[in-house]
Chain A
Amino acid sequence: NAGVTQTPKFQVLKTGQSMTLQCAQDMNHNSMYWYRQDPGMGLRLIYYSASEGTTDKGEVPNGYNVSRLNKREFSLRLESAAPSQTSVYFCASSRDSNYGYTFGSGTRLTVV
């Protein structure tokens, strides 16, 4: 039982490049989330998907797009990466919004 799997684990991008962060969960959870974590700060919600077929903006959505491909997968896309998007990105899932989240191990992204 893998839980929440994120790929890649590390990525370096040049300013203006695009990329997609992948996330998959095998717990049959309804809700999925993307967070970013900057040094010395807590987790900030980028986008979430309360259920398959729905997505909504979180606290810091600018510069990102998401796709809930199916119940298992929720991807995060950076269309034109900026240095301000250098961060560690965490995907999480939960049975629904009123249960604890299970987090992936994170993607460390550097934009130069």
Chain B
Amino acid sequence: GESVGLHLPTLSVQEGDNSIINCAYSNSASDYFIWYKQESGKGPQFIIDIRSNMDKRQGQRVTVLLNKTVKHLSLQIAATQPGDSAVYFCAENNAGNMLTFGGGTRLMVKP
């Protein structure tokens, strides 16, 4: 079946640098994408979403980019802080069905 995947299981960045977490999806019918952050011992927390009629959306220190041509989604975190250390999941919703989650990328922020 079609699925969402991530290129890098672990990303280590220096505090203050920008982070980019990538996600590939294979279902061209997907029309809604979400990034979640999960800290140790907690449930996933919504960060930002984007619908397929957009290619970029910005939040506070975060930007999601969607490239439908190559079926690629990325999460950019500006000025990464120690509190950003967590596992990040992308998720896709293909035309009204349930969200399908990727395997997750662990972001480690070095002081």
Q: Which residues of A contact B (CB under 8 A)?
A: 4, 33, 41-43, 45, 48, 58, 90, 92, 97-98, 100-106
Contacts and interface: CB of A to CB of B under 8 A. Distances in A.
Nearest to B1: A59
Q: How large is the interface on B (under 10, 10 to 19, 20 to 34, 35 or more residues)?
A: 20 to 34
Contacts of A100: 34, 46, 49
Interface of B: 31-32, 34, 36, 41-46, 49, 89, 93, 96-99, 101-104
B42 A98 contact: no
A100 B59 CA distance: 15
Nearest to A91: B43
A42 B89 contact: yes
Contacts of B89: 42-43
Nearest to B100: A45
Contacts of B98: 33, 45, 48, 58, 97
A85 B85 CA distance: 28
B42 A106 contact: yes
Contacts of A101: 34, 44, 46, 99
A103 B36 CA distance: 10
Contact of A103 (B45, B93, B103): B45
A66 B50 CA distance: 31
B99 A42 contact: no
A4 B42 CA distance: 12
A58 B99 CA distance: 11
Nearest to A43: B101
A98 B32 contact: yes
B103 A97 contact: no
Contacts of B46: 100-102
A84 B104 CA distance: 22
A45 B1 CA distance: 15
A42 B97 contact: no
Nearest to B103: A42
